[in-house]
Amino acid sequence: MNSNDLLKTITNAQPKPEATTKLAKVTSISGGTYVQFYGEDTPSQMNYKKIASVGTLAVNNTVILTKINGSYIITGRVS
C-alpha cells in the first residue's frame, strides 16, 4: 500500500461531520412544527422550535434549521 492509498483509507474511516444547517419542508403545524428533512424518506417525529423572527409557518414551507446545543431550531424560511 502506498502513502496515497493509506491516506484514502484513513480519510474514509473517519466519521463524516453532521451538517450544522439543514433544509426541510414543514409537514405539520398541529401541536408544534414538524418537518421532513430534504434527502430523507420519512418526516421527523420531533417537534422543532423556531426563532420568533421566522414568523408564521404553513405546511409545505421550506425552512432552514440550525444545530444548536445538540438539537435543531428553525432559524429561517425560504420564500
16, pLDDT greater than 70:
no
Percent of the chain with pLDDT over 90: 70
* 77 neighbors 63 (Cβ within 8 angstroms): yes
- In degrees, to the nearest 5, what angle opens at C-alpha 22 toward C-alphas 49 and 37? 80
Domain residues of the chain, as ranges? 18-78
Residue 4: pLDDT band (50, 70, 90) is confident
Q: 18-78 is classed in which CATH architecture? A: Beta Barrel (2.40)
- In degrees, to the nearest 5, what angle opens at C-alpha 36 toward C-alphas 75 and 31? 75
Listed residue (67, 33, 27) closest to 52, CA to CA: 33
pTM of the full structure: 0.76
Helix (H) or strand (E) run with residue 11 in it: helix 3-13
